[in-house]
Amino acid sequence: MIRSIENNLQELSRIIGPISDHLYTKKSKYLFGSSIGQHIRHILEMYEVLLSGYHSGKFSFENRKRNQTLEENVKEMLNTIESISAEINKKDKELICVLHDHANQQQELKTTYFRELLYCFEHGIHHQALIKVALKEFEWENIPENFGVAPSTVKFRLACVQ
């Protein structure tokens, strides 16, 4: 799984790395005014939150930085991907995910590092599908066919072709 995540992050660097900061921050009419950079920031901050809580054993996806520079600067995205990739290969262990319910009561859920890595990976792919919509809207070339498609869907499609 870690190798798949590393490959996915490398693919993100290859696809988004060449675009300009202008295109990275351009608002998409099909994504209700959000930008590629906003989706990238969201994807990467999920990983950062998980990694920052690894040693303490506790994390909360509700407490993301919402780093404006990451949202606006392609170079910052590339540096962040490199940093996450360098840190992601850790042993599985139990963690606590902290969240607040509709009444703002704190809840603590038992989970594991690998379970949450999988969540970040699959959640990221969902946002990559949205990024793909914006790239097509902006007439960006060289978008891989399977960018933004879950690995299980890719496998299913391949099985159907045979």
Q: What percent of the chain has pLDDT above 70?
A: 97
Query: Does residue 156 have a pLDDT over 80?
Result: no
The pTM score is: 0.90
What is the C-alpha to C-alpha distance for residues 98 and 34, in angstroms, rounded to an integer?
Answer: 27
pLDDT reported for residue 154 = 66
| 3-state helix vs strand vs coil in the chain, percent to 5 | 60, 10, 30
pLDDT of residue 162: 66
Q: Where are the domains of the chain?
A: 2-161
Strands laid side by side in the 58-59 sheet? 58-59, 94-100, 106-112
What are the tens digits of pLDDT across the range 36-49? 999 999 999 999 99
Contact at 8 Å (CB) between 145 and 132?
A: no
Q: What is the pLDDT of residue 146?
A: 83
**If pLDDT is split at 50, 70 and 90, which confidence band does 145 have?**
confident
Topology at the third CATH level for domain 2-161:
Four Helix Bundle (Hemerythrin (Met), subunit A) (1.20.120)
